[in-house]
Amino acid sequence: MTHAFQEFMAFFFSDLCVEIDWSKQPRFNPFAWVTLAHLRTQRARRDPDQLYAAKWQLTKLLFQHGWSKARIIELFKVINWMMVLPPLLQRRYWRAVVKLEKESKMECGPRRNP
């Protein structure tokens, strides 16, 4: 949804869409992230590999938005409940999260707390 947000808004909320300054990067609130997680979970339709890919993509997007670790963890309490992976994929996922967190700290330095 993040890559097609403007098109989404134009289709479903055409009146509001013309009022948005699209030259600025949209910021998503926690409700939007949970909604996105739900939509991606539904799209995966019990396919563990698709669910892993959707959860991983969502995780990377959260890190790219520069949220604090505490805020990401709070949001992930809901996302992890919705996007349950089989144990093998869950271990793979957490290893990737730890690696992403280390890389993010090296590239960005201290995180801001929006």
Which residue has better confidence, 30 or 43? Answer: 43
Question: Does the pTM of the predicted model rise above 0.85?
Answer: no
The pLDDT, as a whole number, for residue 90 is 93
More confident residue, 93 or 46: 93
Cβ-based neighbours of 2, under 8 Å, separated by 6 or more: 26, 28, 36, 61
Judged against a pLDDT cut of 80, whether residue 30 lies above it is answered with no
| pLDDT of residue 36 exceeding 80 | no
CB 101 within 8 A of CB 63: yes
| Residue of 97, 53, 49, 40 whose CA lies nearest to 73 | 97
pLDDT tens profile 69-101: 788 788 878 888 888 999 999 999 999 989 988
Query: What confidence category does residue 16 fall into, taking pLDDT thresholds of 50, 70 and 90?
Result: low
